[in-house]
Chains A and B, each alone.
Chain A
Amino acid sequence: MTLCQLFLQSEASYAVVSELGELGIFQFKDLNMKVNAFQKKFVSEVRRCEEMERKLRYIEKEIKKEHLKIPDYGENPKAPAPKEMVDLEATFEKIESELREVNTNAEALKRNFLELTELREVLRKTQTFFTAQGQEMSNIVGEAQHALVHDEGTTSGQAVQLGFIAGVIPREKVPPFERMLWFACRGNVFLRYEEIQQSLEDPQTGEPKIKAVFMIFFQGEQLKARVKKICEGFKAALYPCPESSQERQEMFRGVTTRLEDLKTVLNQTEDHRRRVLVGAQKEIRSWIIKVEKIKAIYHTLNMFSFDISHNSLIAEGWCPIQSLEDVRRVLKDGEKLSGSTIPSILHPMKTHETPPTFFKTSRFTQGFQNIVNAYGIATYEEVNPAPYAIITFPFLFSVMFGDAGHGTLMFLFGLWMVLKEKSLLAAKSNNEIWNTFFGGRYIIMLMGLFSIYTGMIYNDAFSKSFNIFGSAWKSNYTEGDMMGDGETATLVFDPAKYYRDSTPYPFGIDPIWQSAKNKITFLNSFKMKMAVILGISQMLFGVCLSVFNHLHFKIVIAIFCEFLPELIFLLALFGYLIFMVYYKWLVFDVTQSGCAPALLIQYINMFMFKYDPPKSDCDVQATFYPNQQTIQTVFVIAAVASVPVLLLVKPFYLRSVHNKKVLAKNALGALSTDALIPNEHTSEQSTSKNVTHVETPSVSGEGSSDIEMGTQPPPAPEKDTNENGKSQSKQNGGDDMKDINLSVNNIEDTSAMVLAHDDDEEEFEFSEIFIEQAIHTIEFCLGCISHTASYLRLWALSLAHAQLSEVLWNMVLHIGLSMDLPYIGSLIIFAVWMAWANLTIAVLLVMEGLSAFLHTLRLHWVEFQSKFYRGEGYIFLPFSFKHILDIDSLDELK
Chain B
Amino acid sequence: METPLVIGIVTAFWFFVGAVLPVLLQFFMWRSPNKGIYQIMLILTAVCCYIFWLTAYLCQLNPLFGPQLSVDMIRFMQMEWK
Residues of A with Cβ closer than 8 Å to B?
Answer: 360, 362, 365, 387-388, 390-392, 395, 399, 453-454, 457-458, 467, 469-473, 475-477, 482-495, 498-499, 502-510, 512-513, 515-519, 521-522, 525-526, 529-530, 533-534, 537, 582, 585-590, 593, 596
Which of B36, B40, B68, B72 interacts with A391 by CB under 8 Å?
B40
B3 to chain A, nearest CB (A): 5
Once the chains bind, are A537 and B52 in contact (CB under 8 Å)? Answer: no
**0 or 1 for each of B57-82: is its CB under 8 Å from A? (1 = yes):** 11111111111111111110110010
Of chain B, the residue at the smallest CB distance from A389 is B44
Contacts of B73 in A (CB 8 A): 515
Once the chains bind, are A487 and B70 in contact (CB under 8 Å)? Answer: yes
Q: How far, in whole Å, are A864 and B44 apart by their CA atoms in the complex?
A: 15
Once the chains bind, are B64 and A495 in contact (CB under 8 Å)? Answer: yes
Q: How far, in whole Å, are A826 and B22 apart by their CA atoms in the complex?
A: 53
Once the chains bind, are B70 and A488 in contact (CB under 8 Å)? Answer: yes
Once the chains bind, are A504 and B57 in contact (CB under 8 Å)? Answer: yes
B58 to chain A, nearest CB (A): 5
Q: Which applies to chain B's interface (DSSP): helix, strand, loop or mixed?
A: helix
Contacts of A482 in B (CB 8 A): 71, 74-75
**0 or 1 for each of B11-35: is its CB under 8 Å from A? (1 = yes):** 0000000000000000000000110
Of chain A, the residue at the smallest CB distance from B3 is A503
Q: How far, in whole Å, are A507 and B70 apart by their CA atoms in the complex?
A: 25
With A391-B44, A475-B78 in contact, is A522–B67 under 8 Å at CB?
Answer: yes
Q: How far, in whole Å, are A593 and B66 apart by their CA atoms in the complex?
A: 11
Once the chains bind, are A473 and B71 in contact (CB under 8 Å)? Answer: no
Chain B: interface residue total (CB-CB under 8 A): 41
Once the chains bind, are B63 and A590 in contact (CB under 8 Å)? Answer: yes
CB<8 Å pairs between A and B, sample of 25:
A387-B37, A391-B40, A392-B48, A395-B45, A395-B49, A472-B60, A477-B74, A482-B74, A489-B71, A495-B63, A502-B3, A503-B2, A505-B60, A507-B53, A512-B67, A515-B67, A517-B70, A518-B67, A522-B65, A526-B59, A534-B48, A534-B52, A537-B51, A589-B62, A590-B64
Contacts of B66 in A (CB 8 A): 473, 492-495, 498-499
With A391-B45, A590-B65 in contact, is A490–B70 under 8 Å at CB?
Answer: yes
Q: How far, in whole Å, are A391 and B51 apart by their CA atoms in the complex?
A: 14
Of chain A, the residue at the smallest CB distance from B6 is A506
Q: How far, in whole Å, are A17 and B31 apart by their CA atoms in the complex?
A: 33
A68 to chain B, nearest CB (A): 43
Contacts of B68 in A (CB 8 A): 490-493, 516-518
Q: How far, in whole Å, are A418 and B70 apart by their CA atoms in the complex?
A: 47
Tally of contacts, chain A with chain B, CB under 8 A: 168
Q: How far, in whole Å, are A399 and B74 apart by their CA atoms in the complex?
A: 31
Which of A489, A492, A537 interacts with B65 by CB under 8 Å?
A492
Q: How far, in whole Å, are A454 and B49 apart by their CA atoms in the complex?
A: 8
With A387-B37, A582-B58 in contact, is A486–B72 under 8 Å at CB?
Answer: yes
Contacts of A360 in B (CB 8 A): 33
Contacts of B81 in A (CB 8 A): 467, 470-471
A167 to chain B, nearest CB (A): 79
Once the chains bind, are B3 and A590 in contact (CB under 8 Å)? Answer: no
A466 to chain B, nearest CB (A): 13
Once the chains bind, are B67 and A525 in contact (CB under 8 Å)? Answer: no
Contacts of B40 in A (CB 8 A): 387-388, 390-391
Once the chains bind, are B60 and A596 in contact (CB under 8 Å)? Answer: no
Q: How far, in whole Å, are A476 and B44 apart by their CA atoms in the complex?
A: 43
Q: How far, in whole Å, are A519 and B65 apart by their CA atoms in the complex?
A: 11
Q: How far, in whole Å, are A512 and B66 apart by their CA atoms in the complex?
A: 10
Q: How far, in whole Å, are A702 and B57 apart by their CA atoms in the complex?
A: 77
Of chain A, the residue at the smallest CB distance from B78 is A475
Q: How far, in whole Å, are A685 and B72 apart by their CA atoms in the complex?
A: 91
Q: How far, in whole Å, are A522 and B66 apart by their CA atoms in the complex?
A: 9
B67 to chain A, nearest CB (A): 3
Once the chains bind, are B51 and A493 in contact (CB under 8 Å)? Answer: no
